[in-house]
Structure 1
Amino acid sequence: MAAPGLVEAADPAEAVETAEAAELSRALSRLLPGLETDSKLGRRRALEALRRALEEAGPATDPAAFQGPWARLLLPRLLRCLSDPAEGCRVLAAHLLALGMQRAARPRDALPRLLPALAARLVSPESARRQPPETCEELRLGLVQLLGLAVGLGGAALAPYLDDAVRVLRCTLLDPFAAVRRESCQCAAALARATPDHFHMQSESLIGPLMQTISHQHWKVRVAAIEATGTVIQFGNGKSVDDVLSHFAQRLFDDVPQVRQAVTSVVGGWLLDLRDRYSFFHKLIPLLLSSFKDEMPEVRELATSLWEKVGLQWQKENEDDLKDKLDFASPPPAHYPLHDSRPVLGCRELVSRNLSKILPALCHDISDWVVGTRVKAAQLLPVLLTHAEDHITQHLEVILRTLLQACDDDERAVVSNCVRSAELIGTFVPPEVFLKLMLAMLKKSPSPSKLLVLASAVQGCPREALQPHVKVIAMDLAQTHICQASESDLYLERLLLCVQALVSVCHKDCSECSLQLLEVLVTVMAGSGTTSLSDKAQEAVALLAEVEGISSQDLYRKHMGPLLEQLTASHSDWTVHSPELGQFSVVMFQAGPALGEALQHVIPTLRACLQPARDPQMRLKLFSILSKLLLRAKDTVDSQGQFHNYLETVIKDVLVPNLQWHAGRTAAAIRTAAVSCLWALTSSEVLSAKQIQDMQGTLMSHILTTLEEDSQMTRLISCRIINIFLKTSDDTIDPDKFIKIYPELLKRLDDVSNDVRIAAASALITWLKCIKSTNGKSYYQSSIQYLYKELLVYLDDPESAIQDAVLEVLKEGSTLFPDLLVRETEAVLHKHRSAAYCEQLLQHVQAVPATQ
């Protein structure tokens, strides 16, 4: 006999029960008592028997016949089983409820009892930290799936029970089990679609849980949360857009492309279908356009497709307002960026009309402390500018301030996108407008970022528009307080970029300001701390010369006079740190043969700057420059054969004052530099013998003094210079001065350096040859005898190279007084460790008369 209450009153709608329904009721009634037993095993067996009965009945059972037994007999008992102590029983009950909902003719009739039962199992107590009554994760998943089934089958009939459904979802959206969260997201979206007329009253309560789920560690959960948020807001309260925007923006940085794609899809859908979308255009457009620069092609293509649809839809909706622009469409600017397709009119208008609202937030983000945020904002800016086109002009000051700040960023991606934005300014804004602002900012406080923005804007500007402004730009760049504002490589590199941009855009139009541009390039070469930057500047000089149809040397020749005149105007105040000194050095080395045409500027500057009272370090640098020039004199200072006109000035006013002895290492270094210059001059083959003879009268006494210098290099060069002086002296030298030379050379045979000793020996040979060429050699007999004695000592030197050198000197001198040399040699023969060299000398002396 059935337990009391097993047969309940049928619903009013089921007044007549078919035979099939009656049979099903009898079959189920036989199994239902097992659900009331105290035995867990008995309840489970009863539920399994019910499952088999329902599955065996299968789809053949008429839903109308099934409705009555389901509603009267099964539903209430299965709902009670959802709270059964045995987990297995609860699982089977949930499965049977789902099966029954699918088989019943009117599943919505179950909603009044089903929704409260689900809420009882899934809604946590008041304290959010406590777990829901249902402790089994898989069962919670099954119950949420059951709720989703109820939503799908109940449709709009779910509206009266919306509160219970939302309460359930608020909890399950935060469930620890990822699968429950995913299923809850899908259920929330389905609920929104099923109850569009009532859902907006409850939608806001789901936004908080969804935003907590949007950052879940499982990317599939994040995708589900994003998609659910899109649907919830679409069918709910549009004001919730403000609550989710920051979370959506954060998901654009997600490492998983599917997540970024989901954000793009949802935002694009809102722009197309959201009821209040016009109010949120300025907030949603940046999110969608940010995906234009996504690293995945699929995301970029989706964003582009959606944005075009948005633009076309808005264009159609506002056709009357855009009538003139549609009928008389303006062509794209002639200098429109290559490889970029022009957006449709609706897209351009949307950006232009909302740019003033978008820019403040964008400018803030581009200076954010988070690198990713700065990069994303910098990527978005050129996309917006491409759409805004000439509407940029009214926002130019704000954009420029933003770019100037962002171009100082350490992140390369930020700077590269800002460079692109600056190029677009040059493309769409008339140069007279942007140059007025940029040049004023640059003059006020020069900086690398301002130069970079200027260079980029110039690079993007059409040649015909920029042509009237080329000279103004070049003259401003050449101003001292701009081109010499900093010696940092970064500043100079950006300065070089400005010149390169002007030359590459304007070509021959740069001819009228090539002097100013050359001044800037010389400044870059002078201040650069790296060879690569200097090489780039030289390439820019070559490019500037090329657009004028001349060579680099001819370019220097063209501007040598004004260039040096300007550089040397301040030479009286130069120190080693003066930028003009570095520029002067660059011009000296780069000008080549053109230097020979500007000696009227070069020599007076050298004379003034190389006086002993001037900065010693500067003098050292200038002597280094001068010596290098003199080594290639025919290709530099004497290219026009005019250097001899300034020879006396170089000797008396430059070399002589710096050869005089002064105490200190710096003074010694300057004397070495001066001696090196004299050596370069005398060995350059640009001076005639007569000119060298004139020089030695002035310089010989100073050079003899430098033979005593501590610097080995100075002593060596001095010996070589004396040698050259002697070779060109003939018989013009005064005997009293001439006789004072050999003792100084003789001292050098005791030098610590063998190179100096050999050079001194070579000079002694030349000195002896000079005596042979004179008629009064008897005047030198006593000096020669002394020289023989001293040289014979070195003939026994431990160094064989010195012995060989001294032997050559004695052989050269043997023709003067051979008998005297034989006597002196025989007198010391027994004192030498080896008589070989003495014997060679005696053999030579005996052989010479025979051959003469």
Structure 2
Amino acid sequence: MALTPEDESAYNMLAMKMQRDINCLADPDRSVRRRAADKLNRTLQNEASRVSPAVLRTLCVSNLQCPLLQCAETDVVEKCRERALTSLLLLCENKAMEPSDATLKELVALADSRLGKMPYPEPTEEIRLLILQLLHAFLKQFAAVKDMPTLLRDVITELANALGKTAVDPFPDAKKMSAECVILISKYWKNDMGMQIGTIVRPMVVNLSHQHSRVRVCALQALDAAVPCGSEALPELMKEVLLPAVSKVVFDHAPSVREQLVCMLAAWLGQIEQVQQFEASIFPIFLAGIVDESPEVRALSLAKLNELSANWEARDDDGGVKSGDVELMEVDADDVKSAPPLFFETRPPLGARKLAASLQAQVLPQLLEKTGDWTVQVRERYTQVLSAYLILLEQNMNPFLDKVFAALGNICRDDEVVVYNSVKACLGVVGFYADSQMILASLLPMVAGRLAGQDTAQHRTNGLILLGMSIEGMTTKTIGAHLELITEALCDAGLRESEVSDLQDQLAGVVSSIVKTAGPLLAQKDEIGFRLFWVLNHLLASSSESSVAFEMATESMEELAAEMELPAEVLYARYMGKLLDTMTLPTDVSGRWQKCDPSRVLFDSICRRGGAACGENLGKIVPIILIHLEPDQDADVRLASLALLETMLGTDAISQAFKPFSVALLQKAIIPNIVWRGGRVAATIRKVAVACAYTLLRQGIAGQQCLFETAPQMLPVLKSSMDDSDAKTRQLVCLALQYLFVALPGCLGGTACSTLTCHFTGWSLLFLI
């Protein structure tokens, strides 16, 4: 560029002023070189804004550039190198360096010389940063040259080597500037970057695990720019280097890093042709952004998904999704669950659904495998990713349901709450989208223990968990058609009679899910209501009051009554008779129950809970009690039956209903068990039998006709019990006799009274008086 006379004069004055200092840069004395470098730097800072760009460029090209580069590359004094580079950077920022191939080669040679080896020939990290800043500033200007071809082919090898080495520089700022250079080169010289992509990418990937989040972000930005440049080596890099490293960034604790990951993956999916063979690996990592805990990351991921879907929708392969299928999903217009249950506010875009369907054979096995990872974090996150992917698949997941259930069955009882909740949400998605008949065809045999080698409580429990969680995702309309089949399976004796606490908890959970999901339908489905009532009563009978099963069964019984628009007492009145008929009650001693028999436990429970309903069914209940109170029956069964009888006799709502059975109860059940027998167990049975007699008399169940008929048997055994060693038994005898005397005033003969009086101790006589 020709200088004007004025610029020529300014140039000559500056050149003369600076020439001595320029010459001193090569002086053997290090202090002289240092002072010269300082002075030159100060002069440039002062004069750069005063002279024209043409003067500054001429000064740089003719006088300063070569000496300063020489000083920066070879001077042994750190301060001299630093000042030389600072001066060069100042010149470059003021566009004084000529954007030519020759200058580029000189700068790349400097970078390669000082940064291209390990350990670095340049030991000072701040100077290494200056070299990179100078290189970045020049490349930025070099890229802006429009009237000449600008290629890096001659220097790309050395340049990539220097950038690759500085990518692993311990100095974080150097790492970031190296990434900035990579981004710049990738933007303007894609082909040249593609030639050396391996040299750049491999060290850059290392920074994805750096402790500074900003370094990790810069590394992702560099990979975002560089990888789409592509080359023949990209598939190998993707498989061996990029995918293993990028998959770990999903768990980065910094939202800014995860946001950049989403941007990078979206760029890869949208720009790289070679990446299509790796879409099955990249797409699940991208979906991790959809399920991210950060709202910003989720919003960005959804926006990118919508952008990419336009490209995917235009592909020839429809993935099993019809091109016209773009309307919003309407499962049930009247159902509150007519929208997808997770992650997406509306139905996902068609292009995303098409891609998911086309990749399902490759993606699902990967995701299912990762749901069983040994780390909690991976299990939780990839179960959520699986949920998002299944939402995209919709009904296309049906062929893979068995594999999905098998994988989720392994973690459905995970000790970690976050994993359990993720599994629950995922199965809710399955219940919402998958074919309900196929869901039940997979799970009901597992629940019933009909699969080979899976007739165990553990397998049944897993099946119940999967079934309950899937039901919660179904709509009322969906589950309505299958209630008959589901409740029939739940009434299987192996389930409802199980004493395994975990299985009971999950069975209660399934019933609760059915009541909540199908609630509006239950009022019109009497048989379904009865089956649920049956199962719930089994759970109430066999589980402890402190258990989860008992608590859930109690709540579900109340909800069932509410859904059927009945009070709980009326529910028992409606179904108790049918339940007793269904139980196949014993009719003679040959069919008597043992104490631990599930049917006896259920019988005992419903008789205690049934209230007024028991009074309506005493014709069925009393014979069962009589069979189990015969003297030859096991002591523990007699004791349990007497305790039940005493409770029922003392219940005001049903006590008077026992009047028609009072004679049989006294003669066949109560009096034979008051007869004295030796032993502590017999004494306990005798005490409870006397309590039954006392309660029966106190409640006024036995009229005079009954007492006239039973007194000849009852008085002798009561009299014999007045000498019982247990004070409580003696007290109960006295109380029973008191009510007996009151019920039969003047009816006992003198001999009987005198005989009884002789057996009373002082305190008991006072008690009667």
- TM-score by structure 2 length? 0.88
Which whole-Å CA distance do the structure 2 matches of 1:483 and 1:261 have between them? Answer: 50
1:558 maps to amino acid? R
Report the Cα offset of residue 588 of structure 1: 0.6
Go from structure 1 to structure 2 and tell me whether the alpha carbon gap of 1:167 and 1:535 turns closer, same or farther (over 3 Å shift).
Answer: closer
Report the Cα offset of residue 69 of structure 1: 4.8
1:593 maps to amino acid? A
Residues 356-755 of structure 1 mapped to structure 2, 5 A cutoff: 356-444=361-449, 445=455, 447-488=460-501, 489-501=504-516, 503-504=518-519, 506-531=521-546, 533-567=549-583, 569=585, 572=591, 574-632=593-651, 634-636=652-654, 638=656, 641=657, 643-746=658-761, 749=762
Which whole-Å CA distance do the structure 1 matches of 2:288 and 2:626 have between them? Answer: 64
Report the Cα offset of residue 323 of structure 1: 13
Paired residue for 1:332, among 310, 329, 332? Answer: 329
Q: Secondary structure of the residue that 2:583 maps to in structure 1? A: helix
Paired residue for 1:40, among 30, 34, 38? Answer: 30
Aligned residue number for residue 115 of structure 2 = 122
Go from structure 1 to structure 2 and tell me whether the alpha carbon gap of 1:498 and 1:67 turns closer, same or farther (over 3 Å shift).
Answer: closer
Q: Secondary structure of the residue that 1:740 maps to in structure 2? A: helix
Which whole-Å CA distance do the structure 2 matches of 1:279 and 1:225 have between them? Answer: 24
| Runs of 5+ unmatched residues, structure 2 | 144-149, 333-337, 450-454
Go from structure 1 to structure 2 and tell me whether the alpha carbon gap of 1:590 and 1:395 turns closer, same or farther (over 3 Å shift).
Answer: same
Paired residue for 1:175, among 169, 174, 188? Answer: 169
Aligned residue number for residue 355 of structure 2 = 350
| Runs of 5+ unmatched residues, structure 1 | 1-12, 126-130, 750-756, 766-852
Which whole-Å CA distance do the structure 2 matches of 1:456 and 1:491 have between them? Answer: 10
Alignment check: 8 A CA contact 1:454 1:498 kept:
no
Which whole-Å CA distance do the structure 1 matches of 2:557 and 2:321 have between them? Answer: 50
Alignment check: 8 A CA contact 1:568 1:605 kept:
no
Aligned residue number for residue 146 of structure 2 = none
Report the Cα offset of residue 284 of structure 1: 2.0
Which whole-Å CA distance do the structure 2 matches of 1:366 and 1:615 have between them? Answer: 52
Alignment check: 8 A CA contact 1:475 1:516 kept:
yes
Task: Please identify the structure whose Cα radius of gyration is greater.
Answer: 1
Do structure 1's residue 70 and structure 2's residue 70 form an aligned pair? no
Aligned residue number for residue 300 of structure 1 = 298
Alignment check: 8 A CA contact 2:436 2:478 kept:
yes
Do structure 1's residue 103 and structure 2's residue 96 form an aligned pair? yes
Go from structure 1 to structure 2 and tell me whether the alpha carbon gap of 1:383 and 1:505 turns closer, same or farther (over 3 Å shift).
Answer: farther
Report the Cα offset of residue 320 of structure 1: 9.3
Note the alpha carbon deviations across 1:398-417, whole angstroms, 9 max, x for none: 12222222312122222223
Report the Cα offset of residue 463 of structure 1: 3.5
Alignment check: 8 A CA contact 2:448 2:460 kept:
no
Which whole-Å CA distance do the structure 1 matches of 2:627 and 2:663 have between them? Answer: 15
Report the Cα offset of residue 722 of structure 1: 1.7
Which whole-Å CA distance do the structure 1 matches of 2:618 and 2:645 have between them? Answer: 12
Paired residue for 2:140, among 136, 146, 152? Answer: 152
Go from structure 1 to structure 2 and tell me whether the alpha carbon gap of 1:359 and 1:165 turns closer, same or farther (over 3 Å shift).
Answer: same
Q: Which stretch shows the higher mean deviation, 148-157 or 384-393?
A: 148-157
Structure ranking higher on relative contact order (CA contacts 8 Å, 6+ apart): 2
Report the Cα offset of residue 117 of structure 1: 2.0
- TM-score by structure 1 length? 0.80
Paired residue for 2:42, among 32, 39, 52? Answer: 52
Which whole-Å CA distance do the structure 2 matches of 1:322 and 1:539 have between them? Answer: 45
Do structure 1's residue 31 and structure 2's residue 28 form an aligned pair? no
Which whole-Å CA distance do the structure 1 matches of 2:444 and 2:663 have between them? Answer: 48
Do structure 1's residue 112 and structure 2's residue 119 form an aligned pair? no
Q: Which stretch shows the higher mean deviation, 361-370 or 646-655?
A: 646-655
Which whole-Å CA distance do the structure 2 matches of 1:35 and 1:548 have between them? Answer: 98
Alignment check: 8 A CA contact 1:682 1:692 kept:
no
Residues 227-376 of structure 1 mapped to structure 2, 5 A cutoff: 227-237=221-231, 238-239=234-235, 240-242=237-239, 243-315=241-313, 317-318=314-315, 325-327=322-324, 329=326, 332-335=329-332, 336-337=338-339, 340-376=345-381
Which whole-Å CA distance do the structure 2 matches of 1:569 and 1:160 have between them? Answer: 96
Report the Cα offset of residue 546 of structure 1: 4.0
Number of residue pairs the alignment of both structures matches: 732
Alignment check: 8 A CA contact 2:509 2:552 kept:
no
Go from structure 1 to structure 2 and tell me whether the alpha carbon gap of 1:667 and 1:108 turns closer, same or farther (over 3 Å shift).
Answer: farther
Aligned residue number for residue 147 of structure 2 = none
Q: Which stretch shows the higher mean deviation, 145-154 or 474-483?
A: 145-154
Note the alpha carbon deviations across 1:638-679, whole angstroms, 9 max, x for none: 4xx3x2332222222222232223333222222222122222
Q: Which stretch shows the higher mean deviation, 319-328 or 248-257?
A: 319-328
Which whole-Å CA distance do the structure 1 matches of 2:215 and 2:741 have between them? Answer: 97
Alignment check: 8 A CA contact 1:487 1:527 kept:
no
Which whole-Å CA distance do the structure 1 matches of 2:108 and 2:436 have between them? Answer: 68
Alignment check: 8 A CA contact 1:493 1:533 kept:
yes
Aligned residue number for residue 825 of structure 1 = none
Q: Which stretch shows the higher mean deviation, 42-51 or 79-88?
A: 79-88
Report the Cα offset of residue 720 of structure 1: 0.9
Go from structure 1 to structure 2 and tell me whether the alpha carbon gap of 1:217 and 1:502 turns closer, same or farther (over 3 Å shift).
Answer: closer
Residues 131-142 of structure 1 mapped to structure 2, 5 A cutoff: 131-142=119-130
Q: Which stretch shows the higher mean deviation, 462-471 or 584-593?
A: 462-471
Which whole-Å CA distance do the structure 2 matches of 1:676 and 1:503 have between them? Answer: 46
- Report sequence identity in percent: 23
Aligned residue number for residue 839 of structure 1 = none
Report the Cα offset of residue 283 of structure 1: 1.9
1:301 maps to amino acid? A
Report the Cα offset of residue 369 of structure 1: 1.0
Aligned residue number for residue 780 of structure 1 = none
1:604 maps to amino acid? P
Which whole-Å CA distance do the structure 2 matches of 1:244 and 1:649 have between them? Answer: 85
Alignment check: 8 A CA contact 2:594 2:600 kept:
yes
Paired residue for 2:69, among 79, 84, 92? Answer: 79
Which whole-Å CA distance do the structure 1 matches of 2:725 and 2:136 have between them? Answer: 100
Q: Secondary structure of the residue that 1:285 maps to in structure 2? A: helix
Which whole-Å CA distance do the structure 2 matches of 1:15 and 1:163 have between them? Answer: 37
1:620 maps to amino acid? L
Note the alpha carbon deviations across 1:703-741, whole angstroms, 9 max, x for none: 223233333322221221122222223333344333221
Aligned residue number for residue 826 of structure 1 = none
